[in-house]
Chains A and B, each alone.
Chain A
Amino acid sequence: EPEVTQTPSHQVTQMGQEVILRCVPISNHLYFYWYRQILGQKVEFLVSFYNNEISEKSEIFDDQFSVERPDGSNFTLKIRSTKLEDSAMYFCASSNNSPLHFGNGTRLTVT
């Protein structure tokens, strides 16, 4: 069964540094998403992306965040200047007008 793959599985970065989290969605999917889960908290919606543009974003997704689909396969989340509170598990998901398929997540630790 096709899978959503995310790299790296764990990223450690210093506060103020830029990070890029990478995702390869399922190949025929058209809708792409990022969610995050701060330790001990709910999984939260960040952003959805369709037709090469953001279709919806949450209040969490401020100017420090950006998403990009640089080629036909990758979907990236960039955090421009990380803060301690950005430490979380970040999940990429994709769909084709169907339930979301999630990747295994990237655990981001900001020190």
Chain B
Amino acid sequence: AQSVTQPDIHITVSEGASLELRCNYSYGATPYLFWYVQSPGQGLQLLLKYFSGDTLVQGIKGFEAEFKRSQSSFNLRKPSVHWSDAAEYFCAVATDSWGKFQFGAGTQVVVTP
């Protein structure tokens, strides 16, 4: 069965420091991979996606993610976080259709001054 794992439930990072959020998936074929962000009281906003091609993808708000097939990972990174990056981040995998996403449990990011 397909699964998406975000090992870190909660991460605290200082403003200006780098951030890396981990995502591992279990899926038989090459999946479609996504990162979404959810700010308090808001919906899910797409940060970036990977379908094929270059394994390093750039997204909005200065985020990037790297697909590593050998590690079944799609980790999200940002070189220097801003206080506005405090939110919950979800990794998602599209399985057998565009819309049936499987989400990870999410990682809550707290940014300290």
B: interface residue count bin: 20 to 34
> What CA separation (Å) do A60 and B39 show in the bound complex?
26
| Complex: A48 Cα to B95 Cα, angstroms | 13
| A41 CA to B44 CA, complexed, in Å | 15
Considering the complex of A and B, which 8 residue pairs feature the smallest CB-CB distances, nearest first? A104-B43, A102-B44, A43-B103, A48-B99, A102-B43, A33-B99, A45-B100, A42-B103
Having A43-B106, A44-B103, A56-B97, one finds 13 other A-B pairs with CB under 8 Å, namely A35-B101, A42-B105, A45-B101, A48-B99, A48-B100, A95-B98, A97-B98, A102-B44, A102-B45, A103-B43, A104-B41, A104-B42, A104-B43
Determine if B99 and A100 form an interchain contact, defined as CB atoms under 8 angstroms apart: yes
Q: Chain A 26-51, CB within 8 Å of chain B: the 1/0 string?
A: 00000101010000011111001000
B46 adjacent to A48 (CB under 8 Å): no
Q: Mark B57-100, 1 if CB is under 8 A from A, else 0.
A: 00000000000000000000000000000000010100001111
Q: Is the contact region of chain A dominated by helix, strand, or loop, or is it mixed?
A: strand
User: Which residue on chain B has the smallest CB distance to residue A40?
Assistant: B105
Q: Chain B: residues with CB nearer than 8 A to chain A?
A: 34, 36, 41-46, 49, 90, 92, 97-106
CB distance from A50 to the nearest CB of B (A): 8
Which A residues from 71 to 96 make CB contacts under 8 A with B? 91, 93, 95
In the bound complex, residues from chain A placing their C-beta under 8 Å from that of B41 are 104
A32's closest neighbor in chain B, by CB?
A: B99
Interchain CB contact under 8 A, A99 and B49:
yes
Judging by beta carbons under 8 Å apart, are A56 and B90 in contact? no
Known contacts A99-B49, A102-B36; A56/B43 CB under 8 A: no
- Give the distance in Å from the alpha carbon of A99 to the alpha carbon of B99 in the complex: 8
